[in-house]
Amino acid sequence: MGSTTGEFKRDANYIDTRITADGRDGYPVEPGRYRLVVARACPWANRAIIVRRLLGLESVLSMGICGPTHDERSWTFDLDPGGRDPVLGIERIQEAYFKRFPDYPRGITVPAIVDVPSGAVVTNDYKQITLDLSTEWTAYHRAGAPELYPEKLRGEIDEVAELVYRDVNNGVYRCGFASSQEAYETAYGALFARLDWLSDRLAGQRYLVGDTITEADVRLFTTLARFDAVYHGHFKCNRQKLAELPVLWAYARDLFQTPGFGDTTDFVQIKSHYYEVHRTINPSGIVPVGPDLSGWLEPHGRAALGGRPFGDGTPPGPPSAAEVVPAGHGAGVDPVDGIDGRDGGFEGG
C-alpha cells in the first residue's frame, strides 16, 4: 500500500481473535481442532513454523503449506495433490476467510489459523499467533520446550522486537515498495542504521535478549535469512550483503544451524515468491540463480559468547517427513539444481 509521499504503508489491521487456554474469544486451545496455514516463502509465516516446531506443537496443531506464489486473490494449496489442502478441502486460504467473513475487505494473508470443524479462519494476527503459541498452548508443549517469551524479559523482548519490525522486518519492504526516491532513501537509511545497531548489540552477546533464544531472535532471523537471496537485490537493500556484516552474518548462521531454524527455511520457494509475484519490481519474473548458499553451514564461532540456545530445555527433534524442506531447497546445495527443482504456484509475503 502506498502513500502520497511514496512511502510503503503496510495494512496492520488483522483479525484479532485469539485462541486461548480459557477460550474467552470462543476459541479454546484444543488438540487437533485447528490448522496453521503457512507458506514457507513468507517471513511472517516462517516465524510461526519455527515457533511451532521449537515448542513441539506438531501433534496438536496441524500445518497446511501453501505454494510459493499467488495471484491477487490469495495463496493456494498448489503443492498438495489436486491443489487442495487435505484437511480443509479447499484450494485457497481465501475460502476460510470468506467462511467467517463473507465480505472480508482486507488482504488474505498467512500465517492464518483455521478452525477445522467450521472451516473458518480464526486469526491472521501473525505477531500474536507466535506469542500465544508460547503462552496459551503451554499444556501441550513438548518436554524440554524453550521459553521463547519468558515473563521477566517480555518488556525488553517487546521493545527490541518493535524496533526490529519497524526498521528491519518491515523496513526491507519500505525500501522495496517505495514509490519515490526520498521515501526509499529514508527507509534505506533506517534499515542500515538498525542493522548497525543490531551488530553492536550482538557483538558481545549471543542472542538479542538474555542468554537464550527468544521470540525476538525468531522475528529477526526470518528477515536475515532472506536478505542476500532477495532483499539485497530485489528490494535494493544493497549497502552490504548480510555476508558482509560479520557479526550479523555469524549470528544468522548460528541460528540457521540450530534445529528449527535452517531446517524450516526454503530458499527456492523464497526466491520463487518474491521474484515471480512482484512483477512491478521484477517485470520479467526471472528468478536469479544465486547466491551461493553454502556459507550458511560454515562455522559461526558464536558459542564463545556463552549462552544456551534452549536454556534448561532441549532442541526439537527432526521434522516429520511431511514437513521436511524439499531436497535441494536448503543451504549447501548447487543453486542451479535448486532452481531446477523449485515448486510452482502463487503466493505473497
- Fold for the domain defined by 34-140: Glutaredoxin (3.40.30)
| Mean predicted lDDT score pLDDT of the chain | 93
Q: What value does the mean pLDDT take over residues 163-188? A: 98
pLDDT for residue 335:
38
42: annotated active-site residue: yes
pLDDT for residue 341:
29
CA distance 213 to 222: 14
Question: Out of 1.20.1050.10, 1.10.510.10, 1.20.120.80, 1.10.150.240, which CATH number does the structure's domain 151-340 have?
Answer: 1.20.1050.10
| pLDDT band at residue 337 using 50, 70 and 90 as cut-offs | very low
Spell out the domain ranges in the chain: 34-140, 151-340
Q: What value does the mean pLDDT take over residues 16-30? A: 98
Out of 173, 231, 274, 275, pick the active-site residue: 173
Which of these ranges, 82-86, 180-184, 269-273, 343-347, has the smallest mean pLDDT? Answer: 343-347
pLDDT for residue 332:
62
Q: Which residues contact 281 (CB under 8 A, 6 or more apart)?
A: 176, 177, 234, 235
Binding residues for glutathione: 75
CA distance 244 to 235: 17
Q: Which residues contact 259 (CB under 8 A, 6 or more apart)?
A: 53, 315, 316, 317, 318
Q: Where are the beta strands (DSSP E) in the chain?
A: 34-39, 62-66, 112-115, 120-123
Out of 42, 66, 175, 237, pick the active-site residue: 42
CA distance 95 to 260: 30
The DSSP annotation for 286-331 comes to PPP-----GGGGS---GGGG---TTTTS----PPPGGGSPPTTSSS
CA distance 158 to 209: 10
Cβ neighbours of 106 (radius 10 Å): 12
140: annotated active-site residue: no
pLDDT reading at 343 higher than 50: no
Binding residues: 75
| pLDDT band at residue 195 using 50, 70 and 90 as cut-offs | very high
